[in-house]
Amino acid sequence: MKKLIDSAIKASQNAYAPYSKYRVGAAILMKDGNIITGVNVENASYGLTNCAERSALFSAISQGYKKEDIEAMSIIAGEEVIGAPCGACRQVMYELVPKEAKLYLSNLKGEYEVSSTEKLLPGAFGPEDLDV
């Protein structure tokens, strides 16, 4: 868990946040031991900004990993505040992170809370709700 949080902290240093100055890092521990990281990447057209959580998840998927390969995820945001994912990230995490995976929400001091996708997005809409 500490290694995963430290990986998210290290990743946050690579965030592109010239507007908000709010650097976020995410790290995903895969069952094979690899750690995939992501950062927030802002854009002058704010709606085109991508969050660290989605950056890390999309990177893992693009590298060939599947939902079942994820063991845990850490998200780091800010010095004092233990940040929480935005609504868009919660929705993506609900679909791409296993329900049993631990989510470590942390700050730069290493303080953290443990959560889950179901706790972050109760009553979520998912693939099971589609008639496909």
Active site positions, annotated: 53
CA distances from 9 to 4, 51, 69, 129 (A): 9, 15, 22, 35
Q: Find the angle CA(9)-CA(28)-CA(10) to the nearest 5 degrees.
A: 15
DSSP 115: E
Q: To 10 degrees, what angle do helices 52-62 and 2-12 make?
A: 110
How far apart (Å, rounded) are the C-alpha atoms in residues 33 and 5?
A: 14
